Structure 1
Amino acid sequence: MGLTQNQIHAVEETIKQSLKNRFESYNPEPASMPFHTRLLGKDRLALYAFIHSLNTNFGTTIFEPVAIALATSKFKVAQRQVSAGSKISIAAQFEIQKIMDELTAANIKPDKQKEIELIREVCQTGEMRTVKPTMIDIYLENENGEIFLFDIKTAKPNKGAFKEFKRTLLEWTAVLLAEKPDANPSSLIAIPYNPYEPKPYSRWTMAGMLDLPQELKVAEEFWDFLGGDGAYNDLLDCFERVGIELRKEIDHYFERFNPNR
């Protein structure tokens, strides 16, 4: 099916604007690197520093706005950087800790639907505490009232980080259900691309913490979920076209770092 022309236009404009905004806001830190500068040249070093900075902020700078541009045509609500809520019950906190302890000890296997129902049963039980959970990167709601909460992560997260990822997903569920106990939420980790292509993404490192079919979407799974079948490949083409279109503008930007110009 792929993306429509309207979606392609919206995505490409989003990429262009996001990149231009990054150029305008980018201010390289004044660091003296005399060996690197003499070996590579100031312009190449500046380009390296910009790419490193872009990689660090690619999620918020590029992936989030592009995800919203894709999802807007498919979902009733599509927003970025949304708060899950501010209240959580003590009973839900206890249940989350119990789930985490059991998973860490490998006494149980992750089971998303069971975990949601365990939290739902106690989401409004006992004292309600004020909390400030991690912001939801991508918040989606479809016409059936299903809610999807995405946490976008780097392509190669550390193995140990998945424990905290899991806690975040459980806390989002508890905070959301504290306000809407009848809601139908799904909280997931999104990894925008597979760095191991053409080999499959290595999922075994997170199998003990995440319910992989229910809590993880990688590359095509994520983008096709947002924009429909074929969205991922169309999206790569969008990035390529924008890169070609802006190549002269990008070269011109880095010319100021060339001492011979």
Structure 2
Amino acid sequence: MILDTKRESEIENVIKESLRTKFKIYKPETNSMPFHYRLLGKDRMALFSFIQSLNTTFGTSIFEPVAEKLADLNFSAAQKQFVVGETISEEAQNEIQHIMNELTTGKSPDKKEEIERIRKVCNKGTMNNLKTVKVDLFVQSKNGTVHLFDLKTAKPNISNFKDFKRTLLEWAAIYLSKYPKADIYTYIAIPYNPYEPKPYERWTLKGMFDLDEELKVGKEFWDFLGGIGAYEELLNCFERAGIELRPEIDAYFAKFKQP
């Protein structure tokens, strides 16, 4: 068993309070949909609208705090919405552009090599100020190794992959400008695999990302944070929270039933 009773309770409370907060602030769409209402009922349409709204905030309201709690098990430090820094060197920006140009023209990605190229110039040239840069999740191993995660939706927009890659490289450059000797890894994290039981379609990321070094999906991500078996235990936490919340959920959406 990875999660003790105390940690399970903490994670379940994060889930329940996030959903209760959503109920308090959620305002259903006011569009009149008379055919849908008569066919499916206002309560079901309200639930559908709520789920769509919840999906847009699931990452920040649930996945990030849960990941932070889970990472406490195996890491010396864990923090969501971590401020990685506010400066980046001009030479590092230039090097990142060189890397992006090479990847665009067919060079195979090699994250370890890319990090070392950035490290060499992380404090060279003018230090440019940035708006405060935050990462979704920061964790630090007991040996000092730093891992920075950008949590994405289950099916990230393929048109934004170049931007995602640049972001990961810039995070490394910003952090290395303060800690040039740091052992650092930056990743895209996808909380679950929408294609299960089939493997995640990683080919969509191939060519821009070093898949072994820059991507963690579903079970791989959660087990990395909490240890082998954490993913399955986390699913159980969500199930127990859902069972406890079911009467509240039913009562909330019962308000939308036709009189």
Instruction: Compute the TM-score of the two structures, normalised by the length of structure 1.
Output: 0.95
Distance of 1:207 and 1:134 partners within structure 2: 26
**Structure 2 counterpart SS, 1:129:** strand
Match of 1:152 in 2: 151
**Structure 2 counterpart SS, 1:75:** coil
**Structure 2 counterpart SS, 1:85:** strand
Match of 1:80 in 2: 80
Kept after mapping to 2: 8 A contact 1:74/1:226: yes
Distance of 1:54 and 1:256 partners within structure 2: 19
**Structure 1 counterpart SS, 2:128:** strand
Match of 1:216 in 2: 215
Kept after mapping to 2: 8 A contact 1:89/1:122: yes
| Partner amino acid, structure 1, of 2:69 | A
Kept after mapping to 1: 8 A contact 2:85/2:133: no
Kept after mapping to 2: 8 A contact 1:22/1:61: no
**Structure 1 counterpart SS, 2:234:** helix
Distance of 1:181 and 1:25 partners within structure 2: 43
Distance of 1:166 and 1:196 partners within structure 2: 23
Post-superposition Cα deviations, 1:161-209, rounded to whole Å, max 9, x if no partner, equal 2211100000000111111111111100001111111111111111101
Match of 1:21 in 2: 21
Match of 1:171 in 2: 170
Distance of 2:132 and 2:173 partners within structure 1: 10
Match of 2:126 in 1: 127
| Partner amino acid, structure 2, of 1:56 | T
| Partner amino acid, structure 2, of 1:212 | L
Match of 2:199 in 1: 200
**1:134 Cα deviation (Å)?**
5.2
| Partner amino acid, structure 2, of 1:129 | N
Kept after mapping to 2: 8 A contact 1:15/1:242: yes
Match of 2:46 in 1: 46
RMSD: 1.3
**1:4 Cα deviation (Å)?**
2.2
**1:259 Cα deviation (Å)?**
2.5
Kept after mapping to 2: 8 A contact 1:3/1:228: no
Post-superposition Cα deviations, 1:8-51, rounded to whole Å, max 9, x if no partner, equal 12211111111111111212242222332232221111111100
Kept after mapping to 2: 8 A contact 1:137/1:150: yes
- Flag as ranges the 4+ runs of structure 1 deviating above 3 A: none
Post-superposition Cα deviations, 1:196-244, rounded to whole Å, max 9, x if no partner, equal 1111111111110111111000011100011111000111111111111
Distance of 2:25 and 2:140 partners within structure 1: 32
Distance of 2:87 and 2:57 partners within structure 1: 29
Post-superposition Cα deviations, 1:119-172, rounded to whole Å, max 9, x if no partner, equal 010011011111136520011112111111000011111222221110000000
Structure 2: state its 5+ residue gaps.
none
The more displaced of 2-11 and 150-159 is 2-11
Distance of 1:7 and 1:213 partners within structure 2: 29
Distance of 2:225 and 2:27 partners within structure 1: 33
Give me the identity figure in percent: 58
Distance of 2:231 and 2:57 partners within structure 1: 20
Distance of 1:77 and 1:94 partners within structure 2: 31
Match of 1:35 in 2: 35
Match of 1:112 in 2: 111
Distance of 1:100 and 1:57 partners within structure 2: 30
Instruction: Compute the TM-score of the two structures, normalised by the length of structure 2.
Output: 0.96
Distance of 1:80 and 1:102 partners within structure 2: 32
Kept after mapping to 2: 8 A contact 1:133/1:168: no
The more displaced of 49-58 and 21-30 is 21-30
Match of 1:103 in 2: 103
